[in-house]
């Protein structure tokens, strides 16, 4: 309750911050872009993770304000990065439903001057479950702007495959549980191989999340994943470390 009240002022007090985690080319191991990951710098509690406050924001229309701010902020940041670097933004299902989301995206692109093909929107299955007609129209509107649509946490939901059939995704992000398991379990490696092959057939780009070891990275490169993301390469970076990373790696 307390936290929910404080969250209302967090935006105004500039306590929200976007961290950026590199998305690494599986081919040449250089950064291609970054995923924006929101954090709340609470004056007393310290860094509050999104898993704790996004659900609170989703209980009210606060998620719309936070979501609008996030897209705007991420586009402005990316416009200042070296040419070609992309930015991926996580989209709350509630925000998507409550707002004219294509309009929000269009405005953020215009305000920042970011080319639309440098923005990616990450969507989880939760968003796709209800009202598929409305969701399809909204996703198509975003994609028509030239923005990339990525399915996040792929493989964890009830019907990941049927969603690929119904909705116009460009990219899938394989959930980190598969990458974790691949270190021990040959069946997990077979599943990863099959997903990579599916991606090739369906013309979807593939990102592997939660890559923590060189062995995982090498395996994922071998099976032709496109992008790798995880602590093996870099944690999400704050506003101090991000410019340093860009200088050193881009
Ligand atoms: O960064 P971290 O691993 O703590 O993120 C945990 C979860 O919070 C992830 O599922 C991620 O998708 C979600 N998340 C991170 N940043 C944002 C954001 O800006 N908006 C929304 N809606 N979710 C986010
Ligand atoms: O949006 P999504 O649920 O994919 O959010 C990714 C989450 O995974 C973020 O909270 C990020 O901090 C976290 N993360 C990023 N890289 C790694 C990693 O290598 N290992 C683990 N365990 N978590 C990671
Ligand atoms: Mn994500
Ligand atoms: Na994910």
Which of 90, 95, 150, 229 has most ligand 1 atoms within 8 Å of its beta carbon, as the pocket-test mutant? 90
201 has pLDDT over 90:
yes
For residue 21, the ligand 1 atom closest to its alpha carbon is 1
In CATH, which superfamily holds the domain spanning 2-175? EAL domain (3.20.20.450)
What is residue 126's predicted lDDT score, i.e. its pLDDT?
A: 81
Q: Which ligand is nearest to the CA of 50?
A: 1
- pLDDT (mean) for 54-64: 94
Q: What is the pLDDT of residues 64-118, one digit of tens each?
A: 999 999 999 999 999 999 999 999 999 999 999 999 999 999 999 999 999 999 9
pLDDT digit string (tens) for 128-183? 888 889 999 999 999 999 999 999 999 988 778 888 888 999 999 999 999 999 99
Question: Closest ligand 1 atom, CA of 50?
Answer: 8
Tell me, what's the pLDDT at 2? 84
Q: Is the predicted pLDDT of residue 10 greater than 80, yes or no?
A: yes
Helix (H) or strand (E) holding 95: helix 93-98
What residue owns the CA closest to ligand 1's atom 16?
37
Ligand number nearest to the C-alpha of 210: 2
pLDDT digits (tens, 9 = 90+) for 62-79: 999 999 999 999 999 999
| Protein residue with its CA nearest to atom 4 in ligand 1 | 49
Strands (E), 53-202: 86-90, 119-123, 148-154, 171-174
DSSP code string of 177-209: HHHHHHTT-HHHHHHHHHHHHHHHHHT-EEEE-
Q: Which atom of ligand 1 is least distant from the CA of 38? A: 16
The helix-helix angle for 50-58 and 62-79 (nearest 10°) equals 130
Distance from Cα 196 to the centre of ligand 2, integer Å: 20
Contact 101, 142 (CB under 8 A): yes
- Confirm or reject: Cβ of 234 under 6 Å from ligand 2: no
Distance from the alpha carbon of residue 159 to the mean position of ligand 4, in angstroms: 16
Q: What is the pTM for the complete model shown?
A: 0.97
Residue 64 phi/psi, 5-degree rounding, is -70, -45
């Amino acid at each position: 309750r307390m936290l929910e009240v404080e969250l209302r002022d967090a935006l105004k007090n500039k306590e929200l911050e976007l961290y950026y985690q590199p998305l690494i080319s599986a081919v040449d191991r250089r950064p291609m872009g970054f995923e924006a990951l929101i954090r709340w710098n609470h004056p007393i509690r310290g860094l509050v993770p999104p898993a704790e406050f996004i659900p609170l924001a989703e209980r009210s229309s606060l998620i719309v304000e936070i979501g609008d701010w996030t897209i705007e902020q991420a586009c402005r940041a990316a416009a200042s990065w070296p040419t070609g670097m992309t930015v991926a933004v996580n989209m709350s299902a509630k925000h998507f439903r409550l707002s004219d989301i294509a309009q929000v995206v269009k405005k953020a692109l215009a305000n920042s001057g970011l080319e639309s093909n440098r923005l990616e929107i990450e969507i989880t299955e939760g968003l796709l479950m209800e009202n598929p007609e409305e969701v399809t129209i909204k996703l198509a509107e975003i994609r028509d702007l030239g923005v990339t649509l990525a399915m996040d946490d792929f493989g964890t939901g009830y019907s990941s495959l049927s969603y690929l059939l119904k909705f116009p995704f460009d990219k899938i992000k394989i959930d980190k549980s598969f990458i974790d398991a691949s270190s021990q379990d040959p069946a997990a490696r077979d599943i990863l191989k099959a997903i990579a092959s599916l991606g090739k057939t369906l013309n979807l780009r593939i990102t592997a999340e939660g890559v923590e070891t060189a062995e995982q990275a090498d395996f994922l490169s071998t099976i032709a994943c496109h992008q790798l993301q995880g602590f093996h390469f870099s944690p999400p970076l704050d506003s101090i470390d991000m410019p340093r990373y860009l200088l050193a790696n881009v």
